[in-house]
Amino acid sequence: MPAVRGARPIRNSEVLDFHNQLPKLENVSLEHYDSVWREWMNYGELNSITGLEEFNFADYTQGTSQTFDQFILRHSKDREILVLKGDFQYHACLGKHVEFKYVDYPHQLESVIRGPDLHALIISAPFSDFGCIHPDFDNILRVCNVMQIPVCLDLAYWGISKHIHLELEMYPCITDVTCSLSKPFFTLENHRVGIRWTREYVDDGVSMLNEVSMQNNHSMSLGVEYMRHFGPDYNWTKYAEAYGDICHDEDLVWSDTVIFGLGDDVRHAEFNRGVHGNYRVCISEWLGDV
């Protein structure tokens, strides 16, 4: 089977059977949806997050992308949007219409900052291109603390990752945290089951739709059922051995994200996403059984 680009959930027959056998779902409230999400984030042993209780406002979102849309829209009027080279390529699509800059050398973030209150940053954890926490993550956020750079933290890979331990209370610069179930669970990628937490109330399109109860109730109910049935460690617990075998057989470097291995410039040059010498390979098709 050829290597592939992108980031797709594992086509898992157990998850598919669970989806197909679900009874008619009752609508859930936003408060219940938020509560289940918060519990799920810390239910496993492979990752941990503290300080989420400081984020008092929760909204249903269409995956994580709706959070990014609103974060960029909110800040683009008077700030330059910063994204690390190799992060989620969706940001660059929106960046074509606003003041936007890729940060090529994260350890030199200070060199691109023109002054306090002039930038906003989106960053993923684990980092999208590496499949593990960015090695400069802590330093980057300390700089953002000092320079008053609001940060949107993307946790879209939470349910397929390990070794991600976050202390949000250390970083008041983080204003938005977003997560979704598209990557952990096959069948949910098209249902757009996401959430956004913010420290302060944000008066934007996401909050407005939630306040008038125009969320996707079916997706919210699906998300609650999946999180009740499958913990955040499910994918690594189920696929750890197979993941190791595939990386060994295909000569890929392991990452902390179960659908990614890292290749080389000879076989995988087309998979480079901007970071010199890094070639992220999605192996979910090899792991799946559907």
Structure tokens at 198: 């913010």
Identity of the residue numbered 86: G
Reduce the DSSP state of residue 193 to 3 states and report it: strand
Q: Is residue 196, in this structure, part of any structural domain at all?
A: yes
By C-alpha distance, which of 262, 258, 257 is closest to 280? Answer: 262
pLDDT in tens, 118-166: 999 999 999 999 999 999 999 999 999 999 999 999 999 999 999 999 9
Residue 52 has pLDDT above 90, yes or no: yes
* Domain harbouring 184, CATH code: 3.40.640.10
> 62 pairs with which residues across the strands?
193
pLDDT in tens, 208-260: 999 999 999 999 999 999 999 999 999 999 999 999 999 999 999 999 999 99
Sheet holding 280-282, edge to edge: 253-254, 260-262, 280-282
Q: Is residue 266, in this structure, part of any structural domain at all?
A: no
Q: Is residue 183, in this structure, part of any structural domain at all?
A: yes
Q: Is residue 48, in this structure, part of any structural domain at all?
A: yes
pLDDT in tens, 55-94: 999 999 999 999 999 999 999 999 999 999 999 988 988 8
In this predicted structure, what is the pLDDT of residue 44? 92
Average pLDDT (196-206) is 96
Structure tokens at 196: 């956004």
Handedness of CA 251, 257, 259, 264 (dihedral sign): negative
Q: Is residue 174, in this structure, part of any structural domain at all?
A: yes
Residue 1 has pLDDT above 80, yes or no: no
In this predicted structure, what is the pLDDT of residue 2? 62
Q: Is residue 75, in this structure, part of any structural domain at all?
A: yes
Q: Is residue 53, in this structure, part of any structural domain at all?
A: yes
Reduce the DSSP state of residue 44 to 3 states and report it: coil
The total of structural domains in the chain comes to: 1
Residue 14 has pLDDT above 80, yes or no: yes
Range of the domain at 112: 25-229
Q: Is residue 98, in this structure, part of any structural domain at all?
A: yes
Residue 4 has pLDDT above 80, yes or no: no
Lowest-pLDDT range, 18-22, 168-172, 226-230? 18-22
Hunting for tokens 């030199």 — which residue is that?
108
Reduce the DSSP state of residue 223 to 3 states and report it: helix
Count how many Cα atoms sit within 13 Å of the Cα of residue 138 in the half-sphere of its side chain: 6
